[in-house]
Amino acid sequence: MSTPTPAKWGLRTLAFGYLGLLLLAPVGMIFYKTFEHGLGPPIEAMTSPDALHAIWLTLLMVAVAVPLNTVFGVGCALLLVRHKWKGNAVLDGIINLPFAISPIVVGLSLFLLYGTDGWFGPTLSEWGIQVLFSTPGMILASVFVSLPFVVRETVPVLQEIGTEQEQAASTLGANAWQTFWRVTLPAIRWGVAYGVVLTTARVLGEFGAVTIVSGSISGETETLPLFVAKAFEQFNEEAAYAGAIVLALLALTTLLLMSVGGRKAKAQGGPIPITGDAAISTSTTKEGS
C-alpha cells in the first residue's frame, strides 16, 4: 500500500460525499421514518390484505419474468457470440430497445396491441383472455423492460472464455447439450448470475410500464411499487415507507444470495496461482495459426 496523498483523500471524500448525499441519506431517511415509532406500525401496514397481495404479485412477476429472460438471454447470447451471421447486428439492436425506450412508452405500446381496439385485444378477449388490467399484461410489461440484462452480462463472458474448452469437450465425445451443461454454463455462470440479479432488481422496481397496463387496482393488479406510490399519494406515509423498506429488503436478499453463492464457489477452488509460470497461461483466448 502506498501512502495516501492529499489528492487521494480528496477523491475519496468526493466519492463518499457524492454517494452519501445522493444514496445513503435518502435511504437512511426512509429507514428512520419507517421505524420512528417502533416495529409495530410498519408491520401492521404491511400485513393488510392489499399490502400482502402487492408483495405476492411482485414476487409472481419476478418468478415468471426472471426465468423467462434468463433462458432467453443465455440463448440469445449464445446465438450472438457463437453463431456469427449478418442478422446478428439487427438482433443486437432489438435486444437493446428496452434500454432505449421509456417504460411509459412500453406500457402505451402494450395498450395499443392488447386494448379493446388493438391488434390482438379483440381476438384474445373472444377467447376469454384478459391481458390488460390483469396479470398477463403486467408480466408482459415486466418481461419487456427487463429483457436485455442477462444477454448484456453474458455476451462479454462468453467472448472471453473462447471456444477451445467447448471444442475440447466435443473431441472428448460430448454432444452440444452435454457441452453446454458441463462446460459452457459453468464457465459463464457469473455473468449469468449478475444478469439475473439485475433482472430481478428491475422487475421488483418496475413502475412505469406496469402502472399503465395494470390500472393499479388495489388488491388485484397492484404490485409493491404501485402500492407505495398510491399510499404516498393518499398521505398514508406509514404504508408508503414500509412498502419501500420491503422492496429494498427484497433487492438486498437477491444481492446477498448471489454473493453467498460466489463465496461458496470460491471456497471450492479459487484462482490462486501457486507457481511462477501459472501466470503465463492466463491468456487462453488466443487461437492457433
> Which DSSP string corresponds to 116-157?
TTSSSHHHHHHTT---TTSHHHHHHHHHHHTTHHHHHHHHHH
CB of 167 vs other proteins, minimal distance in Å? 5
Q: Which of 6, 87, 128, 276 binds other proteins (CB under 8 A)?
A: 276
Nearest to 245 by CA among 204, 214, 215, 206: 204
Taking the alpha carbons at both ends of the chain, their separation in whole angstroms is 42
CB of 159 vs other proteins, minimal distance in Å? 16
187 binds other proteins (CB under 8 A): yes
Please state, in angstroms and rounded to a whole number, the distance separating the CA atoms of residues 68 and 66: 5
266 binds other proteins (CB under 8 A): no
6 binds other proteins (CB under 8 A): no
| Residue 155-184 contact track with other proteins, rule CB under 8 A, x = bound | ---------xx-xxxxxxxxx--x---xx-
Is 26 strand, coil or helix?
A: helix
Q: Quick one: which segment of 34-42, 200-208, 256-264, 274-282 binds other proteins (CB under 8 A)? A: 274-282
Residue ranges of the alpha helices (H) in the chain? 6-19, 25-34, 40-46, 49-82, 88-100, 103-114, 121-126, 135-145, 148-161, 164-171, 176-179, 185-205, 208-214, 224-233, 237-268
Q: Which is nearer to other proteins, 125 or 165 (CB)?
A: 165
273 binds other proteins (CB under 8 A): yes
> CB count, 10 Å around CB of 233?
9
CB of 184 vs other proteins, minimal distance in Å? 10
Q: Which is nearer to other proteins, 126 or 277 (CB)?
A: 277
Q: Which is nearer to other proteins, 49 or 269 (CB)?
A: 269
Count of residues in contact with other proteins, rule CB under 8 A: 33
Q: Quick one: which segment of 83-91, 99-107, 115-123, 278-286 binds other proteins (CB under 8 A)? A: 278-286
277 binds other proteins (CB under 8 A): yes
Residues in the chain: 289
Assess contact for 223 and 57: CB atoms under 8 A: yes
Q: Which residues bind other proteins (CB under 8 A)?
A: 164-165, 167-175, 178, 182-183, 186-187, 269-278, 280-281, 283-284, 286, 288-289
